[in-house]
Amino acid sequence: MAKEKTIAAKAKLVEDLAAQLKDASSTVIVNYAGITVEDDTKMRKALREANVNYTVIKNSITLRALESLGYKEFGDILTGMTAVAIGADEVSAAKVLKEYDDKVETFSIKAGICDGKVLGRDEVLELAAIPSKETLISKMLGSLNGPLYKLAIALQAVVDNNGGAAAEAPAEEAAPAAEAPAEPEAAPAE
């Protein structure tokens, strides 16, 4: 009876993890050995703020969940002290974990998954180098706004320069026009 409950509990863990992995935009698998409690706490806080679910779970359960989704490449990767970071976007988990991969010698990124593709360590590190979505959008908007802003300044300069000349021109033209009708009236009066 106890064995059946344990098997059912493990099957539920595999099912839940598989559902999380299936819905994730990205997943990063790390070796968390050697990280201090202080660094681990900071890292977990940064991951929570980045909307990343970071879980230390048995390798066998992780492997079964990945295999149930069709990922067969993780048998050799899931050894030792392994944790799984599941991100809502493509780069947030990789960015935060790369910081600790650089900072802590024994902590390392092993592999990942992004948009259904299995990534090696180097590919996850490349993914971490990509700017965030907000940064990319702001750069794009800045590049679009730059020329428009310069055009607006140039047009305003033209209006300012011609505006002064245009204001003087109607005043000069108005005076001769007012004098012109007066002359023809004077001619018939003679």
CA–CA gap between residue 38 and residue 154 (Å, rounded): 55
CATH number at residue 90: 3.30.70.1730
Q: Are residues 100 and 39 in contact, defined by beta-carbon separation less than 8 angstroms?
A: yes
Q: Choose the final residue of a domain: 82, 97, 130.
A: 130
User: Are residues 101 and 172 both part of a single domain?
Assistant: no
Q: How high is the mean pLDDT of the chain? A: 83
Residues 96 and 18 in one domain: yes
Q: How many domains does the chain have?
A: 2
pLDDT in tens, 160-190: 887 655 445 454 554 454 454 555 555 555 4
Of 130, 159, 176, which residue is a domain's last? 130
Residues 87 and 173 in one domain: no
Say if residue 154 is in the same domain as residue 61: no
Structure tokens at 143: 């590049």
Q: Are residues 116 and 166 in the same domain?
A: no
